[in-house]
């Protein structure tokens, strides 16, 4: 049986004012960071203009 020793996720965010490089070991911490980062008043989500269009369509997902 294979045993996972370590998980590392690297996140790189480049804005017009700064570059952020951060490492995470779990998805929960990554999610919290992303929520906090995009909640900042000076940060605009790059998907803002497209989000209404994408969510208007229903997704089809295959059941396996």
Q: Report pTM.
A: 0.60
| 3-51 residue pLDDT tens | 999 989 999 999 888 999 999 999 999 999 999 988 888 887 666 654 5
Kindly list the domain boundaries of the chain, sorted by start residue: 9-56
SS3 string, 29-59, reads: HHHHHHHHHHHCCCCCCCCHHHHHHHHHCCC
Query: Of all residues in the chain, what percent are helix, strand and coil, respectively (each to 5)?
Result: 35, 20, 45
């Amino acid at each position: 049986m294979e045993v996972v020793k370590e998980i590392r996720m690297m996140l790189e965010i480049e804005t017009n004012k700064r570059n952020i490089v951060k490492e995470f070991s779990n998805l929960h911490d990554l999610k919290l960071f992303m929520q906090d980062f995009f909640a900042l008043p000076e940060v605009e989500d790059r998907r803002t203009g497209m989000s209404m269009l994408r969510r208007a369509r229903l997704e089809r997902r295959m059941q396996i």
